[in-house]
Structure 1
Amino acid sequence: MKLHHTLVLPAKQADQLREHLFPGDGLEAAALLLCTVTGERRPKWLGREVICVPHAECTRRPDFITWPGEFVEAAMDCALARGDAVVAVHSHPGGLFAFSSADDESDRILMNAIRHGTDRAPGSAIMIASGAMRARVYEDDRATPIDLVMKAGADIETWWNDGATGSGPLSPPMAFTGDMRASLSRLSICLIGVSGTGSIVAEQLARLGVGEIILIDFDKIEERNLNRILNATRDDIGVLKVEMFADAIRRYRRDGEVISVPCSVATREAILAAREADILFSCVDSAEGRHIADRLSAYFAMPLFDVGVAIPTEPLPDGGRRIAEVYGRVDYVYPGGSSLMDRGVYDAALLEAEYLARTAPHALAGKIADGYLRGMAEEAPGVITLNMRAASACVMEFIARLFPFREFANETRARTIFMLAEGDEDAFSEGQFKNGHRFPVADGEIEPLLGLPALAKRRRVA
């Protein structure tokens, strides 16, 4: 997989840019985008803040714009204080999806000024009326195209520099085609948890042709796992799940890359590996794992797909128990939207219960007896048929976001729950969840990592 430069725009910032750059008068407009820079193997610019240059302060024409230097200076001051990069963005209301010779000449002066006023390489970008963008970064005196500009919202919109022309970007491939597979070969996806549902999600992503798959799981295969982890055999007992699955993928794929991270997701190593990906999948059964995924999605502006299954039971009068329901759940979270915590997938009580279960099991038992906690929400051991149904629904949700094929808006499917005993399926829109804005968006690896003191970089003691 060819490594590339990426500019990620959370939906809020992308929509703010579009609204300002296209006021409806057919004249060019300008803004400055402050970006957190992250990634080592795959440099990513995360759009964090938009500084709009007032239209009245500019000289605006259909194919030309100038704006006062004071706004550039203000952007540089903000960027320098945080270590951000500055991307100068302007509109092409005529629809030209390329940098003009006038843009090149303007950048020659502006990029040099920004480079000397900040600690980061500057960039420039153009936007057309549809919201599509092309961007480039000036690491030296020469412009290097940013390979991918991605808008992370209810839809995941991708604009690749390769293949774009002056008349516009490439259209998204049709879902379920070879062109879709070719498009997926350009993406990097991180998957947290490679067990019951996770192994099935990973198998589908690999066979769909995803270019790079990052697998995070600290656990080893046990005999009791063999009934639900794909590709696992008796010979794999005692082997790390990520290593077994990475080897399995390599046996049937010569292209692409598989990176195994044999760590808990609640470690710096795992977080720094996950940040390199474009998209995140959470296939865990713990509140802590989902809490980390929630924060990863926000801090690194990554669309997140979370899947879970459960088989709740209820007591019978004779003292036995019966199955109350058999259900699966898929949540899609985009940076700046409602989080898994907002939606009640986990809460502070569950996080505390899991912590006590690890560190003070007797205290946990006492708190449950006292009614202080609502208790541990135990997801049922996965039966492979239920896991397959849920994992497939999760990957199908991913396809629908990148390659729209539905006859209804993706905004209406922030969550889906299927109930096999009842024979029903419920869908919940983004607007049905209260957005608590719990986590900062596009802050990157600002310390402490993910805002969690336990993940802070340790200082060396002399």
Structure 2
Amino acid sequence: MTESARIVMLEAQKIVLESYLFDTPGLEGAAFLICGQAAGGTPKLVCHAVIPLQSTDYLERRHDGLTIGSGSLTRIAKLAREEGMCIVFAHSHPDGITEFSSKDDEEEAKLLPFLQARAPGRIHGTMVVTKTSMGARLYAPRRIPASVLVVGDRFRLYSAETDDCVPQVYDRQVRAFGRDTQQTLSALHVGVVGLGGTGSPIAEQLVRLGVGRITLFDGDRLERTNVNRVYGSSLSQTGRPKVEIAKEHLDRIGLDAHVVAVAHHITEESAAKRLRDCDIIFGCTDKQIPRAILMQVALRYCLPVFDLGVLIDSKDGEIRSIHGRITTLMPGESCLYCRGRISAEAMRIEALSPQEREQQAREGYAPELDTTAPAVIAFTSTVASLAVSELLNRLTGFMGSDRKSSEVLIAFDQSRIRTNRVAPRDACHCADHAQWCIGDENPYLGLAWPTLPS
């Protein structure tokens, strides 16, 4: 399936937008979305703010059309130009029809040239909103249909695709979650960062679920000690890039997924920029700096990240504890700093070369070099499956409407699973709404990329 252009917005933004568009029953309403841009392979806009129209901005409001004054257009174009942002003109269809009307086409023919002239060099667009659906199109610069992805407690994709065919291989899943969920899965682009004990089973499950596009990120090569838990690997493949092994394995399954292998760490700017093409990411790395990068991607691109971790505490072959974790990152949720999962000091130490680390350890400024952590396929696979279940719950709500947690904690040695939702700390950058959903900036993510270690 061809990947469609996207407009991405938060569930909370959609609620605000609908309050503006449906403020007067039976009449069309309008608002503007101020959006950041993700200049990746497929056009994507990220909603930063919803701007309402004033009652005086309407020249005419009917059940089948509306006209707005030039003053509101001038205002919004000036704001977009000054902030380097894009504009989406959204309006409602009270009749419930998502398709753009001939009247919409006429108004767009006047609106888009104005926006392109006043805020040049940006992608602009339009959107139709009904009580049950959304439709959109972008001008990049030619007009193209766009899907709308809404993320929050639930993920909803209002797809521009029209293919209603669901392959028979997914029959058992359709019986569980329905055709709409299967079609959503087929339209999603999911990234997997790290192809080890958690990333490799996640990638395989995504393919078998019917996810349409999967991009794999990992700069490491397979080692003999990886084979005990890396799906699709064998001893004969040691020394080969993990992503190549994974792609070959996933392609052999023979389903429709388009799998792309990126044999680089996301601490390299070229690889990190490809993250923004994804709709959802599974972070399966055990390093702190890549986790910090994924946090920034989640905040700036309204891009949900499921961050995974498994920790086995063992001494002399005796288990002390076995813990797993799945943390959902997106604007509005507490980040890994807030939760104490990563720290600036740990990242400083991680960024040191082995020689620098040894020197600082001798001087008492860093702990001794880490020993190789234990890893067991039963536990890494379980955490991977629970993470995929979290995605399915966000798509379907099968865990119930009262399930609003953003972190799952597993204590294997105690046979216990707990969930939580922690508010962002006021002083943390993840609580700064100005940093949410801003899209591209220079430098990318505000980071000094040449200095980042792998």
Q: Which TM-score band (shorter chain)?
A: 0.7 to 0.9
| CA distance 1:455–1:294, shift in 2 (3 Å) | farther
Q: What secondary structure, in the 3-state scheme, does the structure 2 residue paired with 1:154 have?
A: coil
The residue number in structure 2 matching 1:400 is: 393
Moved over 6 A (4+): 373-379
| CA distance 1:184–1:193, shift in 2 (3 Å) | same
- Tell me if the contact between 1:175 and 1:403 (Cα under 8 Å) persists in the aligned partners: no
Letter in 1 for 2:293: I
Deviating more after overlay: 6-15 vs 187-196: 6-15
The residue number in structure 2 matching 1:160 is: 159
| Separation in structure 2 between the aligned mates of residue 279 and residue 87 of structure 1, nearest angstrom | 23
| Separation in structure 2 between the aligned mates of residue 64 and residue 376 of structure 1, nearest angstrom | 67
The residue number in structure 1 matching 2:416 is: 424
Question: Which residue, out of 319, 322, 329, partners 2:325?
Answer: 329
- Tell me if the contact between 2:334 and 2:423 (Cα under 8 Å) persists in the aligned partners: no
The residue number in structure 2 matching 1:136 is: 137
**In the alignment, does 2:388 pair up with 1:386?**
no
| Separation in structure 2 between the aligned mates of residue 281 and residue 332 of structure 1, nearest angstrom | 9
| CA distance 1:108–1:379, shift in 2 (3 Å) | farther
Deviation at 1:164, TM superposition (A): 10
Deviation at 1:358, TM superposition (A): 4.7
- Tell me if the contact between 2:210 and 2:255 (Cα under 8 Å) persists in the aligned partners: no
Q: What secondary structure, in the 3-state scheme, does the structure 1 residue paired with 2:127 have?
A: strand
Letter in 2 for 1:111: L
The residue number in structure 2 matching 1:122 is: 124
Deviation at 1:405, TM superposition (A): 1.4
Deviation at 1:325, TM superposition (A): 2.0
- Tell me if the contact between 1:48 and 1:441 (Cα under 8 Å) persists in the aligned partners: yes
Q: What secondary structure, in the 3-state scheme, does the structure 2 residue paired with 1:45 have?
A: strand
The residue number in structure 1 matching 2:335 is: 339
The residue number in structure 1 matching 2:218 is: 217
The residue number in structure 1 matching 2:195 is: 194
The residue number in structure 2 matching 1:248 is: 249
- Tell me if the contact between 2:57 and 2:71 (Cα under 8 Å) persists in the aligned partners: no
Between Structure 1 and Structure 2, how many residues are aligned? 438
Letter in 2 for 1:152: V
Q: What secondary structure, in the 3-state scheme, does the structure 1 residue paired with 2:324 have?
A: strand
Deviation at 1:309, TM superposition (A): 0.8
| Separation in structure 1 between the aligned mates of residue 53 and residue 163 of structure 2, nearest angstrom | 28
| Separation in structure 1 between the aligned mates of residue 368 and residue 437 of structure 2, nearest angstrom | 34
- Tell me if the contact between 1:10 and 1:336 (Cα under 8 Å) persists in the aligned partners: no
| Separation in structure 2 between the aligned mates of residue 330 and residue 453 of structure 1, nearest angstrom | 28
- Tell me if the contact between 1:312 and 1:324 (Cα under 8 Å) persists in the aligned partners: yes
| Separation in structure 2 between the aligned mates of residue 389 and residue 375 of structure 1, nearest angstrom | 31
Computed over aligned residues only, the root mean square deviation of the Cα atoms, in angstroms, reads 2.9
- Tell me if the contact between 1:330 and 1:390 (Cα under 8 Å) persists in the aligned partners: yes
The residue number in structure 2 matching 1:23 is: 23
Deviating more after overlay: 110-119 vs 243-252: 110-119
Q: What secondary structure, in the 3-state scheme, does the structure 2 residue paired with 1:275 have?
A: helix
| CA distance 1:161–1:75, shift in 2 (3 Å) | same
Q: Which deviations, in whole Å up to 9, do the C-alpha atoms of 1:210-229 show, x marking residues without a partner? A: 11111111110111111111
| CA distance 1:106–1:377, shift in 2 (3 Å) | farther
Deviation at 1:174, TM superposition (A): 6.8
State the TM-score, normalizing by the size of structure 2: 0.87
- Tell me if the contact between 1:309 and 1:380 (Cα under 8 Å) persists in the aligned partners: no
Q: Which deviations, in whole Å up to 9, do the C-alpha atoms of 1:48-91 show, x marking residues without a partner? A: 23222123432434443332322211222232334432111112
Letter in 1 for 2:447: L
Identical amino acids, percent of aligned pairs: 29
| Separation in structure 2 between the aligned mates of residue 157 and residue 182 of structure 1, nearest angstrom | 11
The residue number in structure 1 matching 2:406 is: 414
Give unmatched runs, 5+ long, in structure 2. 165-172
The residue number in structure 1 matching 2:168 is: none
| Separation in structure 2 between the aligned mates of residue 359 and residue 96 of structure 1, nearest angstrom | 65
The residue number in structure 2 matching 1:76 is: 77
Q: Which deviations, in whole Å up to 9, do the C-alpha atoms of 1:266-309 show, x marking residues without a partner? A: 11111122211111110011111211111111222211111111
Deviation at 1:244, TM superposition (A): 0.8
| CA distance 1:25–1:281, shift in 2 (3 Å) | same
- Tell me if the contact between 2:194 and 2:216 (Cα under 8 Å) persists in the aligned partners: yes
Give unmatched runs, 5+ long, in structure 1. 166-171, 315-319, 457-462
Deviation at 1:259, TM superposition (A): 1.0
- Tell me if the contact between 1:357 and 1:364 (Cα under 8 Å) persists in the aligned partners: no
